[in-house]
Amino acid sequence: MLALVILCGCSGQAGEGNKAPSLLERITPASPSPTPLDPAAKTVDLCVGNDVISYRLSDMGVIVGAAGTLAIDQKVFAAFYRRLNERYGTPAQNAQLLYSDDPADPITFVAEAEGQRIDEDSLAQTLIEKAEAPRITVDMEPVAASVTAEELKEKHALLSTFTTSFKGSTLGRKNRVNNMALAASRINGIVLDPGEEFSMNETILDRTKENGYYLAPAIRNGTYEKEYGGGVCQVSSTLFNAVMMADLTVTERHHHSWPMTYVPIGRDATIATGYKDFRFVNSTKSELVIFAHLDRKAKTVTVRLYGQKSGDFDHVKVTSKRTSSLPPKGTKVKLDESLSAGSRVEERKERRGKTSVTYKEYYDASDQLIRKETAYEDSYPSIEGLVYVSSDLYR
């Protein structure tokens, strides 16, 4: 056997410090050979998998060093190793995250795949130790993927899901449903980086005809009026509940003039172009993905949030209750001389105000309550009714 000497192609000075040995300098030297070989003339068959290829030792970086021993020329060996590994190595495949069209399961994960490469240390050592042999078997080593499916699943876990219904003749009006479907489509697939803020108004655009919205009933001045985009508040309220259940940081939220029927009291979030918005921050440690889907057949709107769980809890439940009723304001009667005799037109319905409190309850994986916090205390004001009557009914 011949001793291994590493030739780096450069001279070093004594006392250069504790420089870490290179890859090939870590190879254990072999014993001197009584019969030095001529690397330029000696040919060796390399067995790589099912292939057998003949190479001269010198083409693989083997040279004759001092005192007739064999050595490795790092530059030649590195080039040879690279070419050999490019031909026979297999790169590892990282796990992948894919978005699907299935609203019930919008994220799927493709598992990682292990690769393989030629063992560089083993090849260099073997070229020296078995230089006299006619055939050398090349060892392969596994290559792990840098991203695993488990890592992706941890960073893209289902944080929360919330659904509201628009069953019924009022909530299910065609134009209102079209507006909700458009708003849901515009927040669907939104990705927020850690610390990034989401704005409902900015995301779904101004509610105008030019932006694709239809005329539908919306609350304005204490009554229902037809506006472009009427109904989108059901989408923002659905998102608001999912955000609370994911324990994200809400930075702006407004309740309606009175409680809505599609969410419990205290759990609505109204928006208005230009002055009322629903905003929250991705306060998780990973990217946050919003999925929103309107199901016309089931008559539901569902929002799902995916991100990285954090904190000392497993999940959050949101509860609310009415705490009091406010004094009524009555109904104001006004004369409208244009009305025919015996006419009475209700312009605005009297509504008695209510107060409410909304809680966030934190639970562990076994559904044991950890703590309970007050999230919101809302006051829906009493609304004065307004009626116009003809002259014969006015007093």
300's CB contacts (< 8 A; 6+ apart) are 163, 164, 165, 166, 294
Look up residue 310 and give its two tokens: 């954090």
pLDDT at 27: 53
349-360 per-position pLDDT tens digit:
999 999 999 999
User: Strands, DSSP E only, in 272-394?
Assistant: 279-281, 288-295, 300-307, 315-325, 331-335, 344-348, 354-363, 369-380, 385-389
Angle at 221 between CA 278 and CA 223, to 5 degrees: 100
- What topology does CATH give the domain 4-151? Ubiquitin-like (UB roll) (3.10.20)
Q: What CA–CA distances, in Å, run from 335 to 344, 348, 351, 393?
A: 10, 15, 21, 8
pLDDT at 5: 36
- What topology does CATH give the domain 313-395? Resuscitation-promoting factor rpfb fold (2.20.230)
pLDDT at 23: 52
pLDDT at 261: 95
Query: Rounded to an integer, what distance in angstroms lies between the CA atom of residue 90 and that of residue 106?
Result: 31
Q: What residue segments make up the domains of the chain, in order of their start?
A: 4-151, 158-310, 313-395
Q: Is 40 within 8 Å of 69 (Cβ atoms)? A: no
Per-residue pLDDT tens, the chain, 395 aa: give them.
333 333 333 333 334 445 555 555 555 445 455 556 888 889 999 999 899 999 999 999 998 887 778 889 999 999 999 999 999 999 999 999 898 888 888 999 999 999 999 999 999 999 989 988 999 999 999 999 999 999 999 999 999 999 999 999 889 999 999 999 999 999 999 999 999 999 999 999 999 999 999 999 888 877 888 999 999 999 999 999 999 999 999 999 999 999 999 999 999 999 999 889 999 999 999 999 999 999 999 999 999 999 999 889 999 999 999 999 999 999 999 999 999 999 999 999 999 999 999 999 999 999 999 999 999 999 999 999 999 999 999 87
pLDDT at 186: 97
